[in-house]
Amino acid sequence: MVERDRPSGAVIYVRVSTEEQAAGPLNLENQEKRCRRYCEQNGFAVIQVFVDPGKSARSTDRPQFQEMLAFCKKHRHEVGYVVVQDLSRLARNNQHQAETINQLCLQGIRLCSTYESNIDETAAGKLAANMYGSINQYFSDSLSEKMQDVTRASVIAGRFPWPAPIGYQNIPSSNGHSNIVPDETRAPFVRRAFELVASGLYSKAAVREMVTELGLRTRKGKKLSPQTFDAMLTKPVYCGWVAPPSMPDVRVKGLHEPLISEDLFNTVQRVLSGKKTIAAPKKKHNPNFPLKWFVKCGECGTPLTGAFVKGRSRKYPRYWCRNKSCRKVSLSKATLESEFLRLLRRLQPNRSTVSSFPRIAGKVWAKKQGDIEAETKRCTSKLEELRYLKSQLLRDKLRREISSADYQEENAKLVEEIAIVEQQLEGVSSNKASLDSFVRFAELMLANVATAWEKAKPEQRMRVQNLLFPGGIRYSGAGNFLNPSSSSLFNMLEEMSSEEGMLASPTGFEPVLPP
Of the listed 8, 17, 154, 430, which one is catalytic? Answer: 17
Specify the CATH superfamily of domain 168-272.
Putative Large Serine Recombinase; Chain B, Domain 2 (3.90.1750.20)
Cβ neighbours of 300 (radius 10 Å): 15
Residue 488 among the catalytic residues = no
Through-space distance between the first and last CA atoms of the chain, rounded to whole angstroms: 116
What gap in Å lies between CA 360 and CA 438, rounded to an integer? 12
- The CATH number for 9-141, chosen from 3.40.50.1390, 3.90.730.10, 3.90.180.10, 1.10.10.10, is 3.40.50.1390
Contact 320, 305 (CB under 8 A): yes
Sheet of strand 9-16: strand arrangement? 45-53, 9-16, 79-84, 110-113
Tell which residue, 301, 297, 437, has the closest CA to residue 368. Answer: 437
pLDDT given for residue 513 in this prediction:
34
Q: Are 279 and 267 in contact (CB under 8 A)?
A: no
* Residue 474 three-state SS: strand
Listing from the earlier edge strand, what are the strands of the sheet with 315-321?
304-310, 315-321, 330-332
Amino acid symbol at 275:
K
H runs (alpha helix) in 349-437: 357-398, 404-435
pLDDT in tens, the chain (515 residues): 667 778 999 999 999 887 666 666 678 899 999 999 999 999 999 999 999 887 776 778 888 999 999 999 999 999 999 999 999 999 888 899 999 999 999 999 999 999 998 888 888 988 988 898 888 888 877 877 777 667 677 777 778 888 899 999 988 866 656 688 999 999 999 999 999 998 888 889 999 999 999 899 998 889 999 999 999 999 999 999 888 776 656 678 888 999 999 889 989 998 898 765 444 444 456 788 999 888 988 888 888 999 999 888 889 999 999 888 888 899 999 999 998 888 877 766 555 445 555 565 566 666 666 667 777 888 888 888 888 888 788 777 777 788 877 887 888 788 878 877 776 776 666 555 444 455 555 555 555 677 778 877 777 787 777 767 766 788 887 767 766 554 455 565 555 445 444 444 333 333 333 33
CB 476 within 8 A of CB 300: no
- Domain residue extents for the chain: 9-141, 168-272
CA 181 from chain centre, in angstroms, equals 19
Check residue 81 and report its DSSP letter. E
Give 259-284 as a DSSP string: SS-HHHHHHHHHHHTTPPP-PPPP--
Are residues 274 and 292 in contact, defined by beta-carbon separation less than 8 angstroms? no
Q: Which residues contact 499 (CB under 8 A, 6 or more apart)?
A: none
Residue 514 has a pLDDT of: 34
**Taking a C-beta distance cutoff of 8 angstroms, is the pair 235, 164 a contact?**
no
For 62, half-sphere exposure in the C-beta direction (CA atoms, 13 angstrom radius) is 25
Give dist(CA 338, CA 404) in Å, integer.
62
